[in-house]
A and B are shown apart, each in its own frame.
Chain A
Amino acid sequence: MLLSRVAESLYWINRYLERAENISRFVEVSEAMSLDCPPGSAEPWLPLIDASSDRESFDKRFPEKKPDDVINFLIRDRLNPNSIISCIQLARENARQIRDVMTSEMWEQINILYWNMQEGETIWNKPRQEQLSEIRRECQLFYGITDATLSKDLSWRFSILGRLIERADKTSRILDVKYYLLLPSLDKLGGVLDELQWIALLRSAGAYQMFRKAEQNSIKPNSVARFLLLDPIFPRSVRYCLDGISNTLKMIDSAPPPENPSELECMRGLLKAKWSYIRIEDIINDGLHEAIDSLQIDLNKLNDLIQEKYFIN
């Protein structure tokens, strides 16, 4: 038995931490990538803002759009609700509400992460790459502690649900950034810079080594897109996440009526089926950006249906 409010908090704690982790991936890789960018080439900063759908508020506040503005906006800006620091604060605020449900080790991890991010803490004296990997490690430590200390009951399932939905969303956004924004002109496809950027993109999705292991060929846009969207066993791929979401939802609602499925049940089944059976050639032919867009709309819908069914009552 799980309180609706508690389920909602667990779901969001995991979404926020997953978001913080992904933003750190975005920034870390873009920073590395910018070092390889020749002057005048497409620079990798503003697409990051697009990837998190915060372009409007960013442009309003930082009309000069300097790289440092982007980085601060994404990491330390308390006015940006999607910055790393805001995500961690929101996660901790939710965690504070449900400390009795989390294990004390989970709570301590999220609490110490929060305090480490405050002004004057040593993390801010470190080089940025170190800051980012530390933040990411701390988030991953939270998942690890959750998996190792929390009973696999409803509270765990709602945690997983939040984590996977956020991850599917962010992996697709990472791909979208590269495909649509970094290289608007197709004639540059296939150059050296292009390959470097695909590598950077894979790294930012934490996928470089696993991709190499799976593909063994040179890095081609189609194969990268296939890997990030459709790979059945890579834990950050969209398909893998959707499988997990589907299984978790089935376990949460153990006996859904088969003849008269709810809207949530339909959504769950359709999403899983679609991303299990579609081929990458078809996605590319119909437009990768469009496919990603519709995925994001579907994930939002899924979020709303979960909200409606389990969190409001």
Chain B
Amino acid sequence: MKYMFSSYRPKNSFDEYFKDNVNSAREILIPLLSSLDNMGLEELNRNHSAAKKLLLRHGATFRLNDTGLKGTERILPFDPLPRIISKDDWLILEKGLKQRLEAIDLFLDDIYNSQNIINDGIIPRELIESSDGWRPQMIGFKPPLNKWCQISGLDLIRDRKGDWHVLEDNLRCPSGVAYFLENRLVMKNIFPNLFSGRIVKPIDEYPSYLLKTLQELAVWTDTPKIVLLTPGIFNSAYFEHSYLAQEMGIQLVQGHDLVCNDDYVYLKTTSGLKRVDVIYRRIDDDFLDPLNFRKDSCLGVSGLLNVFKAGHVALANAPGTGIADDKMIYSFVPKMIKYYLDEEIIIKNVETYICHYQKDQEYVLENLPKLVVKSVSEAGGYGMLIGPQSTSSEIEEFANKIRKNPRNFIAQPTLELSTVPSLCDGELYPCHVDLRPYILRGKDSWVSPGGLTRVALKKGSLVVNSSQGGGCKDTWVVGK
């Protein structure tokens, strides 16, 4: 039917534009398809180049950490075909995300205080205390508003049937939100015609909600001084740190700009020391405070945890939230929801085998070629085995790793992530996507409409991480 898509062939997986071939567009996509068709592939490609230039001009770039080459700076590949989610679908997802975060926050508060969930035998103590994210320093502590996790970004995927699942909880310093905002800006600048006549839910409020969320943490003052703490320009998410600071009008600081003194934390300014009330920290727990965590960290602020525990500064997120995004603890979230909220989980988990358990381990070792195995403590697509795409020697090597340290691994069935048409070498090709919505929790909860759609822009690839060559798309929540 559509000239532009005439040579497009959906894959076996769930295609978010078409039911099975290009003559069966999903109803919600039809208006967009006709706008795209008016534009034509040639103009789409031309504007795509313009979009890339705009991103470069804005400095929406990141540096890869693992190449060792100084100055390998590039933009996150940006795909111009938006991903569309209907408002009805979205309302369910939004509810499910709020539910999940509510339970996770109750879990964090419980686990560092009364530990009912352990005492009631829902989660074994050994799994908690052996996690890399466990911070015994936080035991007995109550953060402001009793909330631990102000800012999170969860990874969602759709399976072959189109059903949504949570793939991962990112509860420490989830990144990507600047690309989420920047992508929309680029789309509006370069492809304004695609928006006309459609109601796409705006996302610009994110920085305002983030600021409000951070302000609410400073329960001791009406005029809080808020800063964003970054590891600095060599961090791959530095663009995001500076972007958010600028959007919120708060200061972007590095560890050596701050100093702890008499149980308070101060900024070093040209007119002396100034007190800080709230820190949106984009540094992992380990590096946050050399006095209390890793001694060799030069990114953090010595004594910061003490100031936090004295209640004189708020940290978002609170140290210790990493326990809840341990990929093994993930598998207990449905139980947490039942335990704390007495509700059924709205967005399902992906079936997960815990190698720590003998029975699961045996199953995993026998079925490695069919499974995806993940290290519980690594992120960014590292420390992973994708069974169906691996050689037998890679599989054998991984099997040994699992036998050696079973606590460190979980396995999940290989999921065919859903696909969305994307530009690959100038042609339209079905590329796999996931979705990272952002959830803010101050006094209220707020979920970004849509989120960052990450897309595997290599033909056939299932890995969407930016460190592995993935790109991103604008995501539209559409409907009245």
Listed in ascending order, the chain A residues whose CB lies under 8 Å from chain B are 1-7, 93, 96-101, 104, 107-108, 111-112, 115, 154, 158, 252, 310, 313
Contacts and interface: CB of A to CB of B under 8 A. Distances in A.
B242 A3 contact: no
Contacts of A96: 59, 233, 238, 242
Contact of A3 (B59, B232, B243, B257): B257
B253 to A, nearest CB: 7
Given A5-B254, A5-B257, A99-B246, A108 B57 contact: yes
B358 interface: no
A3 B269 contact: yes
A2 to B, nearest CB: 5
Top 4 closest pairs, chain A to chain B, by CB: A100-B245, A99-B242, A100-B252, A100-B246
B177 to A, nearest CB: 15
Nearest to A312: B268
A12 to B, nearest CB: 14
B251 A3 contact: yes
Contacts of A100: 228, 242, 245-246, 250-252
16 contacts: A1-B271, A2-B270, A3-B253, A3-B257, A4-B269, A5-B268, A100-B251, A101-B252, A107-B59, A108-B58, A108-B59, A111-B58, A111-B59, A154-B270, A252-B270, A310-B270
Contacts of B252: 98-101
A3 B267 contact: yes
Contacts of B253: 3
A97 B251 contact: no
Interface in B43-101: 56-59
Which one of A4, A93, A101, A158 has the greatest number of beta carbons of chain B within 10 Å?
A: A4
B270 A4 contact: yes
A2 B58 contact: no
Nearest to A5: B257
Given A104-B246, A154-B270, A97 B232 contact: yes
B49 to A, nearest CB: 14
Interface residues of B, number: 26
B19 interface: no
Interface in B229-264: 232-233, 238, 242-243, 245-246, 250-254, 256-257
Contacts of A7: 270
Contacts of B272: 313
A4 B257 CA distance: 8
Contacts of A158: 270
B246 A1 contact: no
Contacts of A104: 58, 246
A111 B268 contact: no
B338 interface: no
B274 interface: yes
A196 B254 CA distance: 52
A3 B246 contact: no
Nearest to A96: B233
A111 B57 contact: yes
Contacts of A93: 233
Nearest to A157: B270
Which one of A97, A99, A112, A158 has the greatest number of beta carbons of chain B within 10 Å?
A: A99
Contact of A1 (B59, B232, B274): B274
A263 B43 CA distance: 63
A7 B268 CA distance: 11
Contacts of B268: 3-5, 313
Contacts of A111: 56-59
Contacts of A1: 267, 269-271, 274
Which one of A2, A96, A108 has the greatest number of beta carbons of chain B within 10 Å?
A: A96
B269 A115 contact: no
Which one of B58, B59, B251, B256 has the greatest number of beta carbons of chain A within 10 Å?
A: B59
Contacts of B270: 1-4, 7, 154, 158, 252, 310
A90 to B, nearest CB: 13
Contacts of A313: 268, 272
